[in-house]
Amino acid sequence: MKKIVFFIFVFISFFSCNKNDDNLSFKSVFIPIESVDIPDEFTLGEVHTIGVTYKRPSNCHIFGKFYYAPHNNERTVAVVNTVFERNDCIDLVDETLTATFNFQVTSNVSYIFKFWQGKDDNNEDIFLEIEVPVTN
């Protein structure tokens, strides 16, 4: 986590020193999750690390945070990037990044994770759903 904060600080500092960007603006966008590294099972009371891999669309995209919405035993997760709106952004073809978060297991029922993978042709959300059982 300290590394992420450090890189965000360096990135923002770099852009704040550029004299051509007096009105630097940015927005937050969801980025589709490509793959997930999650344990096959959880142990009640323990903390487990979950990793997600996503493609970074341009050099103006940086990891911002996770969207995380719990509802009963379901957890909806998405990657949120901060996008700096600049004229000199470079599209990246195959740059994949991994971000992780810690999950505290507080219930002995299975958890269902819904990882956001984008939208389909009908503009409906697509999710990778993974059910993880809990052992005592």
Question: pTM of the entire structure?
Answer: 0.80
Q: Where are the domains of the chain?
A: 26-132
Give the sheet arrangement for strand 47-55, strand by strand: 33-37, 47-55, 96-104
**Distance, CA of 89 to chain centre:** 21
Q: Rounded to an integer, what distance in angstroms lies between the CA atom of residue 43 and that of residue 34?
A: 26
Q: What is the pLDDT of residue 9?
A: 52
Q: What is the pLDDT of residue 4?
A: 56
**DSSP-assigned beta bridge partners for residue 12:** none
**Distance, CA of 41 to chain centre:** 22
* pLDDT < 70 stretches in the chain: 1-23
Q: What is the pLDDT of residues 63-86, one digit of tens each?
A: 999 999 999 999 999 999 999 999
CATH architecture for the domain at 26-132:
Sandwich (2.60)
Q: What is the pLDDT of residue 1?
A: 53
Q: What is the pLDDT of residue 136?
A: 87
The answer to whether 55 touches 94, Cβ cutoff 8 Å, is yes
Query: Which pair of structure tokens corresponds to residue 43?
Result: 């142990």
* CB atoms closer than 10 angstroms to residue 115: 23
